[in-house]
Amino acid sequence: MPKYKITIEYDGTNFVGWQRQENGPSIQSSIENAIIKLSSEKITIVGAGRTDAGVHAKGQVAHFEINKDIPLDNIRDGLNQHLRKLPIAILKVEIVDENFNARFSAKLRSYQYRIINRRPPLTIDKNQAWGVFKKLSISDMKKTAPLFVGKHDFNAFRSIDCQSSSSIKTINSCNAEKINENILINVSAKSFLHSQVRIIVGTMVEVGKGKIKIEEIKKIIESKNRNRAGPTAPAHGLYLVKIEY
């Protein structure tokens, strides 16, 4: 039985998140339903990252197995045909080794958070970015980003719903850049705590507003106290960009 790896793009606005849930449509269940229509086989797909409600993806990865032998291009096009009414697209289909696991084989997960920093409210980008209407110091935000890199106890940067047994994580890279009115924050690690990237972003925005000083970041990390970090940035500005294996 071949194992297939799929690369997925989606707009998470109207979904309860990646994971199948009883309270609404998920990315996982939508793709599984498309696979049933394509292959007449009921299977469970395994995703590389369980994105929350409202979070988007440009390069989510999942794997599944089916008995039916279908050419790769036909799987991609067939699934997209069945998903055509939803903001989900299968970008690529590959056959992988039987030991491949979309979640556990991942070596690096890269996220990008998009902020639009301007006075007017957002219209076209309303559910695609976080509109911050007070001028932010991109210089201070750029200086703050590297302070999160490395192995730390990130207990101050995880949500109350986080189920991870340990709050120690290693951030491989973290940087901020400004392109016109867009501020992009890029963060990569093998794995993250629940809402970790969004709390890091919320904290960096507080630095950009001048509410948290750059030199306080190290103390906030060392405190392990969630109340000392910034707010959790909205889900709709976050994108799962790439999974590396």
Domain positions in the chain: 3-96, 108-244
For 3-96, give the CATH class. Answer: alpha beta
pLDDT, one tens digit per residue, over 180-225 is 999 999 999 999 999 999 999 999 999 999 999 999 999 999 999 9
Q: Given the structure tokens 């101050």, which residue do they identify?
A: 156
The H-or-E segment that residue 208 falls in is helix 196-209
Q: What CATH number does the domain located at 108-244 have?
A: 3.30.70.660
Residue 57 in 3-state DSSP?
Answer: strand
- What is the pLDDT at residue 69? 87
Active-site residue, from 11, 52, 69, 161: 52
| Higher local confidence (pLDDT), 1 or 33 | 33
- pTM to 2 decimals? 0.96
- What is the pLDDT at residue 114? 98
140 has catalytic annotation: no
pLDDT, one tens digit per residue, over 140-180 is 999 999 999 999 999 999 999 999 999 999 999 999 999 99
- What is the pLDDT at residue 236? 98
- In whole angstroms, how large is the CA radius of gyration of the chain? 19
- What is the pLDDT at residue 1? 84
Domain 3-96 matches domain 108-244 at the CATH topology level: yes
